[in-house]
Amino acid sequence: MTNPNDIRGTGDAAKLRETTEPEANPVLGSSLDDPQFRDAELPEDSEPARESLGRGELLRRRFLRSKSAWVGMIVFGLLIVLAILGPMIYQYGPFERDLRNALTGPSSYHWFGVNENGLDIFARTMQGLRISLVIGIGTAFLTSFLALVVGIVAGYISHKGKWGAFGDGALVNLINLFLVIPSILLLMLFSPALQRASWLWMIPLLAGFAWMLTARVLRAMTQQLVRTEYVEAARFMGVNPIITMTRHIIPNIASWIIIDTTLGVSAAILGETGLSFIGFGIQYPQVSLGTVLQGYNISAPYTWVPPAAILAALVISINLMGEALRDALDPTSGSGRL
């Protein structure tokens, strides 16, 4: 369709056609037909074009490039396989006694030896590894959940006028109260009583006294995020506060939560092991790495070196993965750059 405002003549149209169409421009047409230009390839040493990577793919590449991440994943994976398959293929149970071979070293029948009570150390170590893993992972996730709820709510309502400041102050005082409570004494008091029902009570007991510092950090991070333009815009538009928290605040602090949760697994395992070692953790008829170490004999290293080595390998592997994950999620880290 002709544009009535177009005042160009036929001569201008011919000139435009000559400069753009290969058929009307011999120079342009010959250049396109020249195999030297048509089939030309980039030199081998030329730098390829950078591909656009999504955030997930970028984090995966950063994480997998770390040697510590591979070491941690391999060791942690082997320990999980050992904890699952070990009790299935081993001939002794954690409470089967062999008093004839009491306090004897490793052998083809008893891989880690036997303690002075006639209990097989390998069977008890594998069973303890199972329970320590469940308690460590469960405690870390529950701790992060409690800290996330309290920290984000306190930080979000702190700018909501008088009542918001009152609610924030109440939550901060709750955090400070739990920080000054002698948690070790309460754990020693309640742990034996609650475990008569189930050893899983160790998870809420440990998480109940481990969420406070994380909550304070999340509160400070949330207070910074609520002043950003997109959060203010969502608030002025009348968006539900829960939707604002889940869509705008949590995604911006998710990397820190993931790192803290990962490193919290090893802290929970060490906490449970310490309580079990002094007799206030996992109780009979269950066993953990702490109860295995409780039956040590200083003159017989095989009664405590194997479970201690398993515990050390477990904690170090988790910390290696946590450090690699922190480097991958931190764009300012030197090892986290592509």
Alpha carbons within 13 angstroms on the beta-carbon side of residue 141 total 5
The verdict on residue 1 lying in a domain is: no
The verdict on residue 87 lying in a domain is: yes
Q: What is the dihedral of CA 311, 314, 315, 318, to 10 degrees?
A: -170
The verdict on residue 19 lying in a domain is: no
List the pLDDT tens digit at each of the 338 positions of the chain: 445 545 555 555 555 455 555 555 554 444 445 555 455 555 555 555 455 567 778 888 888 898 999 999 999 999 999 999 998 899 898 999 988 988 888 998 999 999 988 999 999 999 999 999 999 999 999 999 999 999 999 999 988 878 888 999 999 999 999 999 888 888 888 887 777 778 888 999 999 999 999 999 999 999 999 988 888 888 888 889 899 898 889 988 988 899 899 999 999 999 999 988 988 888 888 899 999 998 888 889 999 999 999 999 999 999 999 999 888 887 565 554 44
Count the residues in the chain: 338
The verdict on residue 16 lying in a domain is: no
- Please provide the distance, in angstroms rounded to a whole number, between the alpha carbons at the two ends of the chain: 53
Residue 12 to residue 154: CA distance in whole angstroms: 70
The CATH number for 75's domain is 1.10.3720.10
Q: What is the dihedral of CA 307, 308, 310, 315, to 10 degrees?
A: 140
The verdict on residue 2 lying in a domain is: no
The verdict on residue 52 lying in a domain is: no
Asked whether the beta carbons of 322 and 56 are under 8 A apart, the reply is no
235 Cβ contact partners less than 8 Å away, ≥ 6 residues apart: 241, 244
Residue 333 to residue 326: CA distance in whole angstroms: 9
State which residues form the domain around 121.
Answer: 57-96+111-336
The verdict on residue 248 lying in a domain is: yes
Residue 140 to residue 157: CA distance in whole angstroms: 26
Torsions phi, psi for 145 (to 5 deg): -65, -45
Alpha carbons within 13 angstroms on the beta-carbon side of residue 236 total 7
Neighbour tally for 116: CB within 10 Å: 14
The verdict on residue 28 lying in a domain is: no
Q: How many domains does the chain have?
A: 1
Residue 209 to residue 252: CA distance in whole angstroms: 26
Residue 116 to residue 112: CA distance in whole angstroms: 13
